[in-house]
Amino acid sequence: MGPAPDGRPDWRDSAPYRALAGIDRAGLAWEWLRRDPAYAAISARLRRVGVGTAPHLEMEADARAFGLCFRRGRRPAGA
């Protein structure tokens, strides 16, 4: 099966879903979450601000709305 007449992928085509066949619940949740436009916007903003800054702490509350939490005292990569 190929694309639908309107150019969108055909949801009945199983090929794009094969990679998800062995995925666990956490993996499926991540695949769902990372495609959410609201989450993507918050995630992008979090990456642009410094960890521990007032804007970052404020945005953590937004991220918690998606069920995410941030560990305190974690060392930055390379530290």
Please state, in angstroms and rounded to a whole number, the distance separating the CA atoms of residues 51 and 47. 9
The domain ranges of the chain are 33-70
Residue 18 pLDDT > 80, yes or no?
Answer: yes
pLDDT digits (tens, 9 = 90+) for 36-67: 898 888 778 777 776 667 666 777 777 777 77
Share of the chain above pLDDT 70, in %: 67
Residue 71 pLDDT > 70, yes or no?
Answer: no
Please state, in angstroms and rounded to a whole number, the distance separating the CA atoms of residues 13 and 5. 14
Residue 75 pLDDT > 80, yes or no?
Answer: no
Predicted TM-score of the model (pTM):
0.50
Please state, in angstroms and rounded to a whole number, the distance separating the CA atoms of residues 64 and 46. 12
Please state, in angstroms and rounded to a whole number, the distance separating the CA atoms of residues 15 and 55. 42
